[in-house]
Each structure stands twice: as C-alpha cells, then as structure tokens.
Amino acid sequence: MFWHLLAPFLSAAVGMGVAGWLWTFGAQNYLGKFLAKKAENLATHQDIQKLVDQVRETERVKAEIADRMWDRQRRWDAKKELYVEIYSSLPNLLKHLINVGEARKAVFAQGADANHSLVMEAVNQLQSHFDKFGDVGFIAPLFFSDAALARIADIQTQAATWVTFLTEDKLLARKGELDTLQADFSRHFNDAVIAFSAAARNDLGYPPASSTKS
C-alpha cells in the first residue's frame, strides 16, 4: 500500500528531474551557441576595426609622403629657377666685361685726346649688371651645393680681377698685349661657366653634359 502511494510521487519526481535536465541541457547548449556567436561577432568586429586602423595608418603615411614629396619638389623647383636665372645672366655679364676691355682699347687708340669717360661708362654698365648678379647670388647659399657656390665665387673673382686690371693706370704700358689678355680672360671665364654648369647639373640630379644624347 505504501509503495502504491509512493509510486506516483516518484514517477512525477523522476519526470521533473528528466525535464529539468533536458531544460538545463537545452539552455546550456543554446547559451553555448549564443556565446560562441557573440565571440565570433566580436572577433569579426575587432578584425574590421583592425583593418580600418590599418587603412587609416596607410592613408596617413601616404599623405605624409605626399607632403614631403611636394615640399621636396617645390624646393627643387626654386633651386632650378635660381640656377637658370644665374646661368642665363652670365652671357650678359661676359659681354659687359668685354665692353670694358673694348672701351679701354678705344682709349689707347685715341692717344692723348682719349675720352676716358668711355671706360667709366662701360664700368658703370657692368656694375649695374653685376649688382643684379650679386643680388641673385646672395640667396644662392640657401639652395646651391658647395661645389656650385665655389664655381660662382670663381666667376666673381675673375670678373673683379679683370675690371681691376683694366682700370689700372699701369695698363698703359701693356696696351699691345690687351687683345691677347682679353682673349685669355674670355677663355678662362667660359671655362668657369662650364664648371658652374657641371656643378649645377650635378646638384639638380641631371647627368653630366657629356653623357646626354644630342
């Protein structure tokens, strides 16, 4: 009789235990899948964020490189323009230097009645052009290589030496040599210009003139 009364209770208890176990198992299974999915989504989000960060860093580096290249190109352009300005002024500088020599020869030819103002006029014209050359050359150290600056100094020294020579009174004793001396000066001046050109090409990254194709 006792077992007859207890049997339904035990059966219900067992049923509830099985049901509870099934619910717990189902809940754990669901929760496990849920957490796994969340972890997967988190990992995916982190991967995407990492990719976004990498793209941003790449763009930052690209922008920095572009800025540097732009700055470098601007400085190169300024350097090139200054080289062109100085180089293109050299033929006129030589012309005015030769004009001083020609004025000096004209004074010799006129003898006692010579108009010495011709020499001073030629010197003044030269000085005006030389001042412009000097103004451009003043900022050259900001851009030019040491080799190019040395060649500019050679040109300036030759020009100053030639003018000093032509304006000295003792030149009268060497008037017969003036043509030869002027030819020598022109040759040395042109050599200095060629040396400056070579230094400029090297500073600008161009190949030597002898290596270029015609």
Q: What is the pLDDT of residues 18-52, one digit of tens each?
A: 445 444 545 556 556 655 666 667 667 666 777 66
pLDDT grade for 164, boundaries at 50, 70 and 90: confident
The pLDDT tens digits for 130-159 are 777 777 778 888 889 999 999 998 998 998
Instruction: Measure the CA–CA gap between 194 and 197, rounded to whole angstroms.
Output: 5
* 143 close to 78: Cβ distance less than 8 angstroms: yes
* 130 close to 197: Cβ distance less than 8 angstroms: no
pLDDT attached to residue 213: 45
pLDDT grade for 178, boundaries at 50, 70 and 90: confident
Spell out the domains of the chain, with CATH numbers in brackets: 81-209 (1.20.120)
Instruction: Measure the CA–CA gap between 22 and 45, rounded to whole angstroms.
Output: 34
